[in-house]
């Protein structure tokens, strides 16, 4: 291979920029959202630990006011920044969000298809209204795994609306 061919394969890799959580991300678009803000119905929020910061986590719960917070991590921990488990549960209570732990009982013995089945069974049994966002707490490894897509497929089978997805933290490519 000549030196010229080697150089032709080189590419500049851009560093992704962290996109802050914004209240508008969770509101229905409309002409009077300033006066009558309405939360997006059918919104599914995937929060990835340990990448999420304390402020992103707090803002996401505050701005989205999820009806359900579904714990899908193998080891549920909330020690990010100054946040701890007690404070996280207070944040959920302040915003009338019900926390549901679907994985701790398994002690990390199942994941993937088993978790998707648990999510689907829980939502089918409890029949949430989907009038407020639903939040899923996931391990970072799930973002590279088909788990999020499997959960979305299961939600499509249950939810009366076309799901919209928000991932936290979010990143955008930085182009100069």
pLDDT at 28 over 80: yes
Q: Which span out of 90-94, 126-130, 158-162 was modeled with the highest average pLDDT?
A: 90-94
109 token code pair: 């013995």
pLDDT digits (tens, 9 = 90+) for 30-77: 756 566 678 888 899 999 999 999 999 999 999 999 999 999 988 889
Of the chain, the percentage scoring pLDDT greater than 90 comes to: 40
- What ranges make up the beta strands (E) of 23-133? 43-49, 68-71, 98-101
pLDDT of amino acid 7: 59
Asked if residue 3 belongs to a domain, the reply is no
Q: How many whole angstroms separate alpha carbon 172 and alpha carbon 85?
A: 30
Token pair listed for 150: 């499997």
- Is 99 contained in some domain? yes
| Residue 31 belongs to a domain | no
45 in a structural domain: yes
Q: Is residue 30 part of a domain?
A: no
Domain residues for the domain of 150 are 41-173
Q: The whole model's pTM is what?
A: 0.82
Contact between residue 19 and residue 171 where contact means Cβ atoms under 8 Å apart? yes
Q: How many domains does the chain have?
A: 1
173 bridge partner residues: 16
d(CA 146, CA 101): 20
Name 50's Cβ contacts closer than 8 Å, sequence gap at least 6.
80, 140
Find the CATH number of the domain harbouring 65.
3.40.1010
């Amino acid at each position: 291979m000549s030196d010229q061919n080697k150089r032709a394969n080189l590419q500049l890799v851009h560093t992704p920029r962290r996109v802050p959580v914004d209240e508008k991300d969770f509101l229905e678009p409309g002409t009077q959202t300033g006066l009558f803000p309405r939360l997006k119905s059918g919104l599914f929020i995937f929060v990835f630990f340990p990448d999420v910061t304390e402020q992103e986590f707090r803002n996401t719960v505050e701005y989205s006011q999820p009806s359900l917070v579904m714990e899908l991590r193998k080891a549920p921990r909330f020690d990010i920044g100054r946040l701890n488990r007690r404070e996280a549960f207070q944040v959920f209570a302040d915003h009338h969000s019900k926390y549901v732990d679907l994985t701790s009982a398994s002690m990390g013995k199942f994941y993937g298809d088993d978790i998707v089945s648990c999510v689907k069974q829980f939502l089918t049994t409890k029949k949430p209204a989907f009038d407020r966002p639903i939040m899923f707490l996931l391990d970072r490894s799930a973002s590279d795994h088909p788990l999020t897509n499997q959960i979305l497929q299961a939600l499509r089978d249950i939810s009366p609306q076309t799901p919209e997805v928000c991932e936290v933290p979010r990143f955008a490519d930085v182009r100069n």
